[in-house]
Amino acid sequence: MDEYPKITVLIVDDHAVVRQGIQTFLETNPDIQVVGVADRGPKAVKLAKDHTPHVALVDMVMPGMDGVEVTRQIRSVSPHTKVIVFTSFHANEYIFPALRAGALSYLLKDCRPEEIASAIRKAVRGEAVLDSRVAACIVHDMQGVNDDSLNAFQVLSDRELEVLRLVATGISNLEIAERLVIGESTVKTHVGNILNKLHLSDRTQAAVYAWATGVVHKENL
């Protein structure tokens, strides 16, 4: 019988090679036990609910439910599970939504295997680990370095730009849905994505941003 309980881990990634590689490595660590492996968000959430793992390693970009939503739902069904983002992407549009959704740590896939195991052990103690490039992005954002260079035309999709222009006119989500012939819940999702990508806190800030940066003009209305 082991003297200490093992750290239980859930792996969430849509690439089989990544899942298998991480699992194989983690199983060489006597203090770590992989209790679940998922290639999609819904399965990951179910496994988190069933096993309540100490740590979940979550990829950011997956079909269907993305890593941000997976993180949010895992934290909802298993509040004690610490989420470590494990991804190839470190742009602000991924980092900040993931952290807001409840991720504790953010690792990039070019890290050494030993760094993954170390981050897992630290997560159980409540200690965050951020890749140096991710930490730099956060520091730059806090210092306002990215404020002037953030461009809605580069970070938003065409549909999100449409929604932002309508938000700037002051109409409701229901009215936007009717204008674009989409569901109100879809509009709500778009608005949330817009706020996350532009690092804005509410619709009022989004409207001010749209007018101030030229996303919307009077002649366009």
The CATH number, out of the four listed (3.30.1200.10, 2.60.120.10, 1.20.1260.10, 3.40.50.2300), of the domain defined by the range 7-142 = 3.40.50.2300
Q: So what CATH class is 152-220?
A: mainly alpha
Per-residue pLDDT tens over the stretch 131-173: 988 887 776 666 554 444 567 888 899 999 999 999 988 888 9
- C-alpha 171/C-alpha 24 separation (Å) is 52
**Averaged confidence pLDDT in the chain:** 88
Per-residue pLDDT tens over the stretch 12-58: 999 999 999 999 999 999 999 999 999 999 999 999 999 999 999 99
Domains of the chain, by residue range, sit at 7-142, 152-220
- C-alpha 22/C-alpha 17 separation (Å) is 9
- pLDDT value for 207: 84
Q: What is the pTM of this model?
A: 0.66
Asked if 72 and 47 count as a contact pair (C-beta separation under 8 A), the reply is no
